[in-house]
């Protein structure tokens, strides 16, 4: 071959696409995981569309998951981010949801994986700014017969889990596909992992009213930062959108709500943890704090064709 001094460079030297997020299924197709090129990851169990893991680039876990959690589809998952719909707790006096089990059926139904997408976060470029979005769906057709009898409405849920380098966003869209109105409540039961609950403060709830479910559902007002010194189960209605978790004087997480009016703060403490068979280790309450954005102090009433959307964004600080 005659040499050409100005011949094109070899194809292998041509710049290619930046590394892309990788999305994989488990061997038994029970869960889907996304990993960013920079190492952050999220795993979602199709049973309940439950986020069971969220790690940073070093592999450090941000969510608390009980070592005795049921991950085989036999029971709602203890830990991670279970979804509450269409009722928070139980509502025996509510005509439409009064017969449903605690926290409804979303967390105990198998969801359909609808697909993935990737994008570049605002203001950035390259692999370090890529995000991965996973979408899941559940409709009346996906419920078991018992659940359909207890809540006989046509509906559609789209749940999106969006992973980027410093944060995780989960959003739920509820659509009424029925010919009659229905009421619903929504909550994202997020278990954050902390090092030592005795060193934790929650900011952003000062001056907010809350219902203290440990003290006879009395309505109270938060005077200062929230600290956890015993069993805690409170439904706050704060004015601001963001709640900050501080541990040992250092900001660890912020949780920002979008169109979700309430924040539940929950920790079972010693006695309640001991009484839950799927809560392990029993002293695990020292390493978790539930900050749960939701719309649960009243009802979202959706007319036929109406939709409701709520979301949370959890940001961690290294």
pLDDT digits (tens, 9 = 90+) for 77-124: 999 999 999 999 999 999 999 999 999 999 999 999 999 998 876 555
Instruction: Examine the pLDDT at 14 and tell me if it is beyond 60.
Output: no
Instruction: Examine the pLDDT at 1 and tell me if it is beyond 50.
Output: no
φ and ψ at residue 52, rounded to 5 degrees? -105, -15
- Domain tally, the chain: 1
Residue 7: predicted pLDDT: 47
- Residue 148 is labelled as binding a ligand: no
Q: What is the pLDDT of residues 157-166, one digit of tens each?
A: 999 999 999 9
Q: Which two tokens stand for residue 246?
A: 């501080």
Measured between alpha carbons, how far is 40 from 42 in angstroms, rounded to an integer? 7
Mean of the per-residue pLDDT values of the chain: 93
Q: What is the pLDDT of residues 290-317, one digit of tens each?
A: 999 999 999 999 999 999 999 999 999 9
- Mean pLDDT across 253-266: 98
The answer to the question of residue 5 being in a domain is: no
The answer to the question of residue 1 being in a domain is: no
Instruction: Examine the pLDDT at 128 and tell me if it is beyond 70.
Output: no
Domain harbouring 127, CATH code: 2.70.98.10
The answer to the question of residue 14 being in a domain is: no
Instruction: Examine the pLDDT at 251 and tell me if it is beyond 50.
Output: yes
Cis bond upstream, residue 281 (ω within 30): yes
Residue-range definition of the domain harbouring residue 273 = 20-316
Instruction: Examine the pLDDT at 19 and tell me if it is beyond 90.
Output: no
- Residue 193 is labelled as binding a ligand: no
Measured between alpha carbons, how far is 159 from 138 in angstroms, rounded to an integer? 8
- Residue 102 is labelled as binding a ligand: yes
Q: What is the DSSP letter of 148?
A: H
Q: Lowest mean pLDDT: which of 117-126, 174-183, 207-216, 252-261? A: 117-126
- Mean pLDDT across 241-263: 97
Catalytic residues: 189, 292
The answer to the question of residue 263 being in a domain is: yes
Q: Which two tokens stand for residue 265?
A: 């703060």
The answer to the question of residue 297 being in a domain is: yes
Q: Helix, strand or coil for residue 206? A: coil
Question: Secondary structure of the chain: what % helix, strand, coil (to 5)?
Answer: 10, 45, 45
Instruction: Examine the pLDDT at 42 and tell me if it is beyond 90.
Output: yes
pTM for this structure?
A: 0.92
The answer to the question of residue 268 being in a domain is: yes
Residue 4: predicted pLDDT: 47
- Mean pLDDT across 64-75: 97
The answer to the question of residue 11 being in a domain is: no
Residue 224: strand pairing partners: none
Model confidence band, residue 125 (pLDDT cutoffs 50, 70, 90): low
The answer to the question of residue 9 being in a domain is: no
Instruction: Examine the pLDDT at 8 and tell me if it is beyond 70.
Output: no
Report whether 148 contacts 140 (CB < 8 A). yes
Q: Which two tokens stand for residue 13?
A: 């030297």
């Amino acid at each position: 071959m005659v040499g050409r001094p100005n011949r094109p460079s070899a194809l292998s030297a041509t710049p290619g696409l930046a590394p892309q997020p990788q999305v994989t299924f488990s061997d038994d197709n029970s869960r889907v995981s996304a990993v960013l090129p920079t190492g952050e990851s999220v795993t979602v169990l199709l049973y309940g569309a439950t986020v069971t893991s969220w790690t940073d680039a070093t592999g450090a876990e941000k969510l608390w998951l009980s070592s005795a959690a049921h991950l085989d589809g036999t029971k709602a998952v203890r830990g991670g981010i279970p979804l509450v719909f269409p009722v928070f707790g139980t509502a025996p006096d509510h005509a439409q949801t009064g017969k449903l089990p605690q926290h409804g059926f979303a967390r105990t139904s198998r969801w359909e994986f609808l697909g993935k997408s990737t994008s570049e976060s605002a203001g950035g470029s390259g692999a370090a700014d890529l995000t991965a979005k996973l979408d899941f769906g559940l409709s009346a057709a996906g419920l078991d017969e018992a659940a359909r009898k207890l809540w006989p409405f046509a509906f559609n849920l789209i749940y999106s889990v969006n992973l980027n380098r410093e944060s995780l966003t989960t959003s739920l869209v509820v659509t009424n596909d029925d010919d009659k109105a229905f009421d619903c409540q929504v909550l994202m039961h997020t278990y954050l992992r902390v090092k030592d609950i005795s060193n934790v403060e929650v900011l952003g709830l000062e001056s907010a009213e809350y219902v203290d479910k440990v003290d006879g559902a009395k309505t109270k007002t938060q005077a200062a930062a929230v600290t956890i010194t015993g069993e805690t189960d409170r439904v706050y209605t704060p004015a601001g959108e963001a709640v900050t978790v501080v541990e040992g004087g250092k900001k660890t997480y912020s949780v920002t709500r979008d169109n979700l009016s309430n924040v539940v703060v929950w920790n079972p403490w010693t006695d309640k943890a001991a009484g839950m068979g799927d809560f392990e280790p029993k002293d695990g309450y020292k390493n978790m704090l539930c900050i749960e954005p939701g719309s649960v102090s009243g009802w979202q009433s959706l007319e036929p064709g109406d939709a409701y959307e709520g979301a949370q964004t959890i940001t961690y600080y290294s």
